[in-house]
Amino acid sequence: MDMPTLTIGTRTSRLPIMQGGMAVRISMSPLAAAVANEGGIGLIAGSGLTPDELIAEVRAARAETDGVLGVNIMVAVRGFKELVHAAISAGVDLVVSGAGFSRDVFGWCRDAGVEMVPIVGSERVAKLSQHFGASAVVVEGFEAGGHLGTDEYMLDLLPRIIESVDIPVIGAGGVVTGADIKRTLDAGAAGVQMGSRFAATVESSAPDAFKDMYVRATEDDILIIKSPVGLPGRAIRNPFTDRLTAGDYPRIERCEACLKQCGREYCIMDKLIRAQGGDVIDGLVFAGSSAARIHDIPTVEALMDRLVAQWRTASEGAPA
């Protein structure tokens, strides 16, 4: 029994698995290329990079794979347009965007023959996305990591989104195992997006201390924090999140105006960069609620083999 494929516009991946584009500098070329080589869709996180850095990452990944490759870029970042055009010029197959909505990006992608896939949290935005030319949409539920655009769980939201559009719908949030993939596909999704599980892999560009936080996290360690982006965020508890919970926001030492709109409670880019650099005390470690179910750091190849085996076992009716 084979897993179904996932077709987004003119691109088809052998497995219905899209790897989440996790910023800053977590989902980079090694991870995206490894996922694409194993039959999934690999995403490079563009937020927090310069256009030249993003071009270099896309080209490095493309040199390692002929699989389906894309980027994830937050609409909220000030350099959104420049980053999208950089990714397109470097040869990506698709662009995934979240943390806001841009009408312009659909035209940019259409003109370049690149598939556009927005992250949505409501039927209204899903319909709007289809109207402007989306090739698919990602339904990201409340279980997801990073910035959250809804307070509804993915499997509650998913059927309504599927009913509202005629394009493929990809479920995201809380997907860790092959059994989770089966449940999401059984609910009508064309595929899944998985972020947290891929953050804790050998090929992830997260440092060891970051990955270890995933492995050690319990349900009590995962919490919602306030973000200057204007959306709530889900992260793993550490001394920095304890400060946020207490309302003790650190002073911004230097502002590079990275966001179109910023609440200025603290510099989120600084905190994400710190975490990627290994500072898990004063940095911000984003994670989904599913991080509490992650207990190892496999290679992407081993993980993908495991997910397929778990999906097959669940499909045959035995516990996964």
Give the pLDDT score at 146: 80
Give the residue range(s) of CATH 3.20.20.70 domains in the chain.
6-205+295-315
pLDDT digits 0-9 by tens, 171-202 = 999 999 999 999 999 999 999 999 999 999 99
Give the pLDDT score at 200: 96
> Which is higher by pLDDT, 240 or 100?
240
Structure tokens of 51? 């256009």
Contacts 24+ apart (CB under 8 A), 216-220: 217/287, 217/291, 217/292, 217/294, 218/292, 219/289, 219/292
The proportion of the chain whose per-residue pLDDT surpasses 90, expressed as a percent, equals 75
Does pLDDT of 259 surpass 80? no
Specify the pTM.
0.91
Does an H or E element contain 179, and which?
helix 178-186
Cβ(22)–Cβ(197) below 8 Å:
no
pLDDT digits 0-9 by tens, 13-40 = 999 999 999 888 999 999 999 999 999 9
**What is d(CA 48, CA 273) in angstroms, rounded to the nearest whole number?**
8
Does pLDDT of 319 surpass 60? no
CATH no. for 6-205+295-315: 3.20.20.70
